[in-house]
Structure 1
Amino acid sequence: MTKRIALATSADHPGLHEHDLPLVDAVRAKGLDPVAVVWTDPSVDWSAYDAVLLRSVWDYHRRYDEFCEWLNVVDKAGVPVFNDSGLVRWNGDKRYLVELRERGVAIVPSQIAAGACLREVVAGLDGQEIVTKPTVGASARHTVRGVAGSAELSLAMDDLPDLVYLVQPFVPEIVTDGEWSLMFVDGEFTHAVVKRPAEGDYRVQVMFGGVATLTDPPAAVLESARETLAAAGPAPLYARVDGVVVNGRFLLMELELIEPYLFLPEFPEATEKLATAVANRL
């Protein structure tokens, strides 16, 4: 029988995001039956599928407890999740960066602060330009940039919800040189882009005017990304390694293993590689 694979998506993109649509045909060409399924739909019988591939679940960070419970439901149904549900849970909270640092990965310097302690941690960085972001979050939601000790930053922090935060120095190279994103399928490098913010901004996401350019990474950047992936454990089905080069050294910003935008339209060959990897794992 043809194996059915649920392409998990959000209610905002019930038919998948348009950039993921080529993956449907590529997976079908491998003899599988791909079906876009909204992960929050309570009527879905997940046991009817042979696997779940996380794609456009871009709302998971806003409903994180519900998302983790959904993973439990899929696990209990005995249905494999790509990436593995245990890896997804680990990757869902950016505190994993501290673990990777302990495993020898160079990261952007980071401190963890519970909401009640955020101002205390920021006070210890007086005069430095910093960025705070939730450890569970995406798309720069609840992210604040400013000079520690300034009235402007203090005012901005007044509006932050009581969450756990990463506190990091602002890295100006993101603006001057851009942020790297390197894509991997089954542990093999496929392609990379450099993301640059719009003029006057520091956020590289497209909704803020950021632009990504397909670019071959320098050997040292690629090697650092490979070392990051190796430190995380067995090769995931797909991964995106985000980082910035500071003083000639690649510093990890995020390792994206849940629902990353993989820049498939920019490099269509990766769509075929991902479909092949899915079929091989089934």
Structure 2
Amino acid sequence: MTSRLALATSAAHPQLHEHDLPLAEALRAAGTDPVAVVWTDPSIDWSAFDAVLLRSVWDYHTRYLEFTAWLDQLDKAGVPVLNDSALVRWNADKRYLLELRERGVAIVPSQVAAGACLREVVAGLAGEEIVVKPTISATAYNTVRGVAGSEELSRALDDLPDAVYLVQPFLPEIVTEGEWSLMFVGGEYTHAVIKRPAAGDYRVQDDFGGTAELVEPPAEVLAAATAALEAADSRTAPAYARVDGIVTGGRFLLMELELIEPYLFLPSHPAATDALAQLVAGRLK
């Protein structure tokens, strides 16, 4: 019997992104019936599916409480989530980076601050170029960059909503060398890209004009990314993962461990597409 697989999307992007079309085809070839379903649609009977694969749930960070309640609903209905719902909850808040640091993973130096503490933390970094981002965010949402103590950054902080934030140094290598993204399927490395921002920007996402180039990582970068993924709070290897980081001072520093709905650059690597489809189909049996 063919397994029914919900490919969770968002209301703003109800159909599969064109980059996910090859994955849908590979899933069908692997013996599943993939169906694009908006995760916030109240009419959906999620128990009618054998599993949910998170794809373009790109609004989860702006509807976080609703998103976690939805995961609870899936858990109660006994519908597996890929990646695992417990892993997704853990990964949705960037404070997981501090946990990984305690487990020996080298991360971009990070401080957590909320409310009035944000101003205090920033004041303690006067003169340094920093980045401030919410711990629950995606695609540079409510992210600001500037020199601590400057009027410009102070005004930018005034515009930020009340939330919990990460405060990190701005690393110029993001502009000069680019950001690494390494993709994994079932814990096994498949391919990697270097992402670079548009001229005059620091954000590498294509939403802001960033570009990506398929490359092979040096052995030390692959080893560090693999170790970061293995340190994740996971009972089994994630079905899919993207490990983002930057090389500075000869070390790979983790920026993000993307385990929810990352862009996996699958069109650039058909073998990874097939591997993910086979893994998902295998976990549904």
> What TM-score, normalized by structure 2, do the two folds share?
0.98
Q: Distance in 1 between matches of 2:274 and 2:228?
A: 24
- Which residue of the partner structure matches residue 118 of structure 1? 118
Worse-superposed segment, 126-135 or 10-19: 10-19
- Which residue of the partner structure matches residue 258 of structure 1? 260
Q: In the TM superposition, what whole-angstrom CA distance separates every residue of 1:98-117 from its partner, at most 9, and x where no partner exists?
A: 00000000000000001331
SS at match of 1:65: helix
Structure 1 residues 87-98: aligned runs within 5 Å:
87-98=87-98
Q: Distance in 2 between matches of 1:263 and 1:6?
A: 21
Q: Distance in 2 between matches of 1:229 and 1:141?
A: 24
- Which residue of the partner structure matches residue 158 of structure 1? 158
Structure 1 residues 132-147: aligned runs within 5 Å:
132-147=132-147
SS at match of 1:62: coil
SS at match of 2:268: coil
Q: In the TM superposition, what whole-angstrom CA distance separates every residue of 1:141-163 from its partner, at most 9, and x where no partner exists?
A: 10000000011100111100001
Q: Distance in 1 between matches of 2:54 and 2:189?
A: 20
Give, as a single letter, the amino acid of the residue that structure 2 aligns with 1:142. Answer: N
- Which residue of the partner structure matches residue 240 of structure 1? 242
1:52 aligns with 2:56: no
Cα shift at 1:190: 0.4
SS at match of 2:217: coil
SS at match of 1:112: strand
- Which residue of the partner structure matches residue 25 of structure 1? 25
SS at match of 1:25: helix
- Which residue of the partner structure matches residue 273 of structure 2? 271
Q: Distance in 2 between matches of 1:134 and 1:157?
A: 12
Q: Distance in 2 between matches of 1:25 and 1:229?
A: 28
1:34 aligns with 2:34: yes
Cα shift at 1:50: 0.4
Structure 2's unaligned 5+ residue stretches are: none
Q: Distance in 1 between matches of 2:199 and 2:238?
A: 35
Aligned partners of 1:129 and 1:148 also within 8 Å:
yes
Q: Distance in 2 between matches of 1:11 and 1:100?
A: 33
Cα shift at 1:83: 0.2
Give, as a single letter, the amino acid of the residue that structure 2 aligns with 1:245. Answer: V
Q: Distance in 1 between matches of 2:115 and 2:67?
A: 22
- Which residue of the partner structure matches residue 104 of structure 2? 104
Q: In the TM superposition, what whole-angstrom CA distance separates every residue of 1:231-266 from its partner, at most 9, and x where no partner exists?
A: 114311000000000011000000000000001112
Structure 1's unaligned 5+ residue stretches are: none
- Which residue of the partner structure matches residue 185 of structure 2? 185
Q: Give percent identity, aligned residues only.
A: 76
Aligned partners of 1:116 and 1:162 also within 8 Å:
no
Structure 1 residues 211-222: aligned runs within 5 Å:
211-222=211-222
Aligned partners of 1:198 and 1:209 also within 8 Å:
yes
Q: In the TM superposition, what whole-angstrom CA distance separates every residue of 1:180-210 from its partner, at most 9, and x where no partner exists?
A: 0000000110000000001111000001110
Q: Distance in 2 between matches of 1:192 and 1:4?
A: 30
SS at match of 1:265: helix
Q: Distance in 2 between matches of 1:115 and 1:38?
A: 33
Runs of 4+ with >3 A deviation: none
